[in-house]
Amino acid sequence: MAGRAEAGRKNDPERTKEDILAVATEEFATHGLAGGRVDAIAERTRTSKRMIYYYFGGKEGLYLSVLERAYRKIRTLEEDLKLASLAPEAALRTLIFSTFDHDEANPDFVRLVSIENIHHAAHMLRSEAIRDLNVSVIETIAGILERGHAEGVFRRRADPIDVHMLISAFCFFRVSNRYTFGTIFRRDLSEPETMARHKGLIADAVIDFLKAGPDAVS
């Protein structure tokens, strides 16, 4: 049985790499870069440390590939929304809801980004892929804002990176600080009614910010 499984992996290297990345995501999100063990990843994927190093060039290469995969997942999800076909307000609200749902469903992503911030983005700086991947969401928001302003839906001319940061900050914080915030204020942030209220709150806050208030000076 094990021999057949190993043979299957050799015949499908892309599947093998995807299996390794999925397990490595859990390992690094749980234990960080320093605490994550390649031996543990190899054992769980029934591969070998040598095979992992062959595919990813070492532990840091594997960690960087995990980060790239995590960002690729959320950017692909955004592309699938087909936001250009929606009216500006609906498009932005849909994007916000998608970001909220993604972060809630992928706490490993939030932990990985938090870990990389501890390292001052030292590994991310080596990745052209991550920079290129994240251009798309800014272009998407810029397009929505421009359409909204042209149609008179949004009065304020806002920086798309600022808008992205505003959305990300709220959605990310809810997951990254869930336990500390919940402990301090005795509030379960995973409770369905609270989640629904917060989802509407961040969408309304961003939309109202863009609708109300004068145009910023260019």
In this predicted model, what pLDDT tens digit does every residue of 70-128 receive, in sequence order? 999 999 999 999 999 999 999 999 999 999 999 999 999 999 999 999 999 999 999 98
Residue 163: is its pLDDT beyond 70?
yes
For residue 47, give the DSSP letter.
-
Q: H helices within the chain, ranges in order?
A: 2-11, 13-35, 38-45, 49-56, 59-79, 88-105, 107-118, 128-150, 160-176, 178-185, 192-211
- What value does the mean pLDDT take over residues 149-161? 96
Is the pLDDT at 218 greater than 90, yes or no? no
* Residue whose C-alpha is closest to residue 80's, from 93, 68, 65, 95: 95
Half-sphere exposure of 120 (CA within 13 A, CB side): 1
pLDDT at residue 203 is higher than 90 = yes
Taking residues 20-28, report their average pLDDT: 97
At 216 the pLDDT is 46
Instruction: State the Cα–Cα distance between residues 105 and 81, nearest whole angstrom.
Output: 17
For residues 213 and 157, give the distance between their C-alpha atoms in angstroms, rounded to a whole number.
10
**Cα-to-chain-centroid distance, residue 109:** 6
The answer to whether the CB of 98 falls within 8 A of the CB of 36 is no
Residue 172: per-residue pLDDT: 97
In the predicted structure, residue 186 carries a pLDDT above the cut 80: yes
Dist CA 127 CA 152 (whole Å): 39
Give the model's confidence band at 12: pLDDT under 50 very low, under 70 low, under 90 confident, else very high: confident
Select from 179, 191, 209 the least CA-distant residue to 96.
209
Mean pLDDT of 152-175: 96
Q: How far apart are CA 79 and CA 74, in angstroms?
A: 9
Which pLDDT tens digit goes with each residue over 113-149? Answer: 999 999 999 999 999 899 898 999 999 999 999 999 9
pLDDT > 70: percent of the chain:
92
Please state, in angstroms and rounded to a whole number, the distance separating the CA atoms of residues 136 and 134.
5
